[in-house]
Amino acid sequence: MTLSEDEVNFDILRVITKKLKNELADQALKLKDRILEATYQYCNDTVADIQKSYKLMQTRISHDPQNERELIETKEFIAKAPMEIVRLTDILKEVEKHHEMLEEFSYMYKDQDIDQFFLMKIWPLRI
């Protein structure tokens, strides 16, 4: 806001930029708020997706097979589970970086959302 003068007088014209600077600053703040809100929504949606994946994994692994086909499918699923956990953990690390960015901007998020995020960090131990 202080990088340019609010008013410049020339012999043939006068340039007043104060209103323009204020409007640009307001638009920049609105844009920043929309970006932060979208980032927050991305974090919440991603954590919810990860939670669904973990619950599905737990359900499939703890399910007692009723026949040989289900037993084979469960064994294959269990064999692939560690790779899926690594993939989900990597995604969760990315969400953590976004949360840190939100903190840098002092974004006010709900306690329950950040609690849900940290609960996802212990899910692999439960599986």
Under the banding of pLDDT at 50, 70 and 90, the label for residue 1 is: very low
Q: How far is CA 50 from the centre of its chain?
A: 12
84 CB burial (10 A radius; 0-12, 13-18, 19+): middle
- What digits encode the pLDDT tens for the residues 30-85? 999 999 999 999 999 999 999 999 999 999 888 888 899 988 999 999 999 999 99
CB 91 within 8 A of CB 46: yes
pTM: predicted TM-score of the whole model, two decimal places? 0.76
More confident residue, 104 or 125: 104
Mean pLDDT: which of 16-20, 49-53, 117-121 is highest?
49-53
Which pairs with CB-CB distance under 8 Å and at least 24 residues apart come from 62-67? none
CA dist 67 and 88 (Å) reads: 30
In this prediction, residue 9 carries a pLDDT of: 66
State the distance between the two ends of the chain, measured CA to CA, in whole angstroms: 54
For residue 64, the tally of other CB atoms under 10 A from its CB is: 7
